[in-house]
Chains A and B, each alone.
Chain A
Amino acid sequence: MLSLNKKDFGLLLVVAILTLAAPIILNPFPANSGMAQFNAGYPDLMQRFVIFGIFAIGFNILFGLTGYLSFGHAAFLGVGSYSAVWMMKLLSMNVIPAILLSVIVAGLFSVVIGYISLRRSGIYFSILTLAFAQMSFNLAYSVLTPITNGETGLQISLNDPRILDGANAPSYPNLFGAQMNSAATVEFGSWIFTFSVGYYLCAVIMLAAFYISIRVFRSPFGMMLRAVKSNQQRMNYTGLNTKPYTLAAFVISGMYAGLAGGLLASMDPLAGAERMQWTASGEVVLMTILGGAGTLLGPVLGAGFIKYFENIFSKINDNVLHGWFSFMPDGFENFLVTVIHPFVGKGWNLTLGLLFMLVVIFLPGGLVEGGQRFGRVFRRKDRNAGSVEADAAKQRNQTAAE
């Protein structure tokens, strides 16, 4: 099906079902219960899950396959966002031209930056990409303010020209009239599910991106990229020119980043310079490694993991804690709140840091490996039927052991 083998098609199908049912799956708790705090099924966060999923899937094509660790991919995300917002300001609020332009511009940027940075490898490559991204960030924040609107970020405004839009066109990003922020709410007992246009657009694009990434992984090109990671010398003496392969991977991942940036701006028409900062580049590295570099599903999992923490854990304050434990005796309640307090709310970074460390220490193959170990416990017999994911994780371990 779709030129995929059975296993890959199965994976795609599972991802598709999970993605499309996300508004339900991510809202497992009734809206008025104390646990509703952990619901993630609201449009903005779900959009971020899939958009950063796209970003990480693309990054994985570069890092997971070729091993080139870019610390500057946030620059393409930012460039994509700026292009998209400009498109919406100048041309039309329809997201199609915005997204297309963001992919193209990010692609052009990545050709230039990739061409220069790929003259070096290893950490020297990483620092070159970092340098480009930081330059972009610093300039976007300051001297490029006429283009980027600096600190406040580029926003749409009522008096933008929008030459393609008629007088009655929607003034919010839309897909042929369907506004990104329109949503249908379904109540099911005390559960509330929200199905938003924006999320489904992102989800469909993410599935396409995921599908493309499977195809790339299974293609001769993908194999060549893994060969680049494994042994460049052998590549050269096998008659293969590694430069165009790595550059192509760099540009593809740059375009994925641009797509993610364009989608971010389409869901929420704002492009800020912080999107290009090195911490943002670091975030996608963390997502990819945390989920499992070189695996198909890992980057998406990693993206979801980090965004969930950022958005859900940061909102748990002492009031919420007291609410949870209010059924307990006072002293015990206060004790529990005191113990948990440093790890939630303003301490969400601490929890995230600790979890990073735990995952890296105990699950070198990332969350995907964790899932496999978990799965293995339940079906011991099936050990040989290792999926592709298992292979990638295994390979990582073996490389590590050398």
Chain B
Amino acid sequence: MDAILLQLLNGLDKGSAYALIALGLTLIFGTLGVVNFAHGALFMIGAFCAVTLSKIFTLSHKAAEPSGTDFLGNPKFEDVLYIKEWFGDAAGAWLLDWSVPLSILFAIPIMLAIGFIMERGLIKHFYKRPHADQILVTFGLAIVLQEVIKYFYGANPIPTAAPEAFRGSFDFGVLLGFDPNAIIYPYWRLIYFAFSALIIGGVFAFLQFTTFGMVVRAGMADRETVGLLGINIDKRFTIMFGIAAAVAGLAGVMYAPINSPNYHMGMDFLVLSFVVVVVGGMGSLPGAVLAGFLLGILESFASMNEVKDILPGIDQIIIYVVAIIILLTRPRGLMGRKGVMEE
């Protein structure tokens, strides 16, 4: 029982990451009709925003340290952090510790800007091109983006820790009357879950309750009609692309402490997020969220020993098996609209 609860919790957490990544992807697809293979790269860039900020915080200059020598026997120098010099030891240390949450503020303008530039500079020329061309050009862009990151940051994962206050894990089991340690879950992952819920809720509220959102939703349903009404839908679409990029970026920022970011993490998530979006139904926001959670939970259950004993290797393929079953029983995914991307 506790094992099941634990995996359910874990699945919700995994699912929230999937849902968050898929949300941006389906947003771009639903509004602009563009299949964005560079979405994973945006997620990766988000994570590297967190890395960059912590690098900025650790900028330092060398000060001679007479006491020791370095590995070559030369006089030793110590790194002195500017941040500690400027803000004092305590405040500097605090800033350093909190660099990941602070990166959110840092990442939003960057991701919005990247989104705007991408849309205006590239994507907008591809609205009327076949999906295959969109896939190819955004895939090329994804490669370029990740290679640029690799050039500056290397291929190795870069550890990016969560604030000290959020390390360790919370014992749910005790709350529910189980033995201690039966159901524990890391604080940061709980925060990720809450953060995802917040962002997903925010995006929904934005689309549901603002005029802007209404126009965009109308544009999603029927772009031409909205255009005929004399509404400048293009401008709104640019903003939507920026928002989607920001959502992907924030998902990346918050993900950085969970797994050390590396330059190809975007590709790792790309296939998965596409499966999530398609299982949810192309262009459907609730579908993407639902599918994200569904796949997250099923993946968690599939990794249980009890399940693997019966079906060896099931955790390797569960996502794909579920995708196949859903697509065969529900032609357009869980909540897809008819006629979208069926040609």
Contact = CB atoms under 8 A, between A and B. Distances in A.
Nearest to A356: B140
Contacts of B142: 353
A265 to B, nearest CB: 24
Interface string B139-151: 1111110011001
Given A132-B320, A350-B144, A360 B275 contact: no
A354 B279 CA distance: 31
B36 to A, nearest CB: 13
A135 B136 contact: no
A361 B316 contact: no
Contacts of A138: 313, 316-317, 320
A282 B135 CA distance: 10
B320 A123 contact: no
A101 interface: no
Interface string B53-96: 00000000000000000000000000000000000000000000
A285 B134 CA distance: 13
Interface string A289-300: 110010000000
Nearest to B133: A360
B317 A135 contact: yes
A67 B130 CA distance: 11
B316 A139 contact: yes
Given A122-B342, A123-B278, A356 B316 contact: no
Interface stretch (A86-94, A103-111, A312-320, A393-401): A393-401
Q: Name the residue in B35, B122, B271, B328 with the highest tally of chain A Cβ atoms < 10 Å from its Cβ.
A: B271
B343 A127 contact: no
Contact of A364 (B122, B129, B275, B313): B129
Given A356-B137, A361-B137, A124 B317 contact: no
A286 B343 contact: no
B283 to A, nearest CB: 10
A364 B128 CA distance: 12
Candidate in B267, B274, B320 with the most chain A CB atoms within 10 angstroms: B320
B332 interface: yes
Given A127-B278, A131-B324, A142-B316, A289 B128 contact: no
Given A124-B278, A124-B333, A139 B140 contact: no
Nearest to A69: B132
Contacts of A131: 275, 319-321, 323-324
B320 A119 contact: no
B130 A123 contact: no
B197 interface: no
A124 B287 CA distance: 14
Interface string A339-361: 00010000101101111110011
A132 B317 CA distance: 9
A278 interface: yes
A360 B35 CA distance: 15
Contacts of B143: 349-350, 352-353, 356
Main secondary structure, interface of A, reads helix
Contacts of B319: 131
A179 to B, nearest CB: 38
A357 B140 contact: yes
Contacts of A62: none
B332 A135 contact: no
Nearest to A126: B278
A27 interface: no
Contacts of B342: 120-124
B321 A127 contact: no
Given A127-B278, A135-B321, A139-B317, A120 B327 contact: yes
Contacts of A63: 132
B252 to A, nearest CB: 20
A353 B146 CA distance: 10
B132 A289 contact: yes
A121 B129 contact: no
A278 B271 contact: yes
A360 B327 CA distance: 30
B205 interface: no
Nearest to A279: B267
A122 B130 contact: no
A23 to B, nearest CB: 31
Contacts of A396: 130
A350 B136 contact: no
Contacts of A401: 128
Nearest to A67: B343
A321 interface: no
A170 to B, nearest CB: 37
B332 A286 contact: no
B202 interface: no
Contacts of A11: none
Nearest to B281: A124
B275 A121 contact: no
A67 B131 CA distance: 11
Contacts of B313: 138-139, 142-143
Interface string A250-293: 00000000000000000000000000001100100110011001
Contacts of A122: 341-343
B282 interface: yes
B219 to A, nearest CB: 19
Nearest to A231: B343
26 contacts: A120-B331, A122-B343, A123-B35, A124-B341, A127-B279, A127-B323, A131-B324, A134-B320, A138-B313, A138-B316, A139-B313, A142-B313, A282-B139, A285-B135, A286-B136, A286-B139, A289-B133, A349-B147, A350-B144, A353-B141, A354-B140, A357-B137, A360-B133, A360-B137, A360-B140, A361-B125
Interface of A: 63, 67, 69, 116, 119-124, 127-128, 130-132, 134-135, 138-139, 142-143, 278-279, 282, 285-286, 289-290, 293, 342, 347, 349-350, 352-357, 360-361, 364, 396, 399-402
Given A130-B271, A138-B320, A353-B147, 12 more contacts: A119-B328, A124-B332, A127-B327, A130-B274, A132-B320, A135-B317, A138-B313, A138-B316, A139-B316, A142-B313, A347-B147, A364-B133
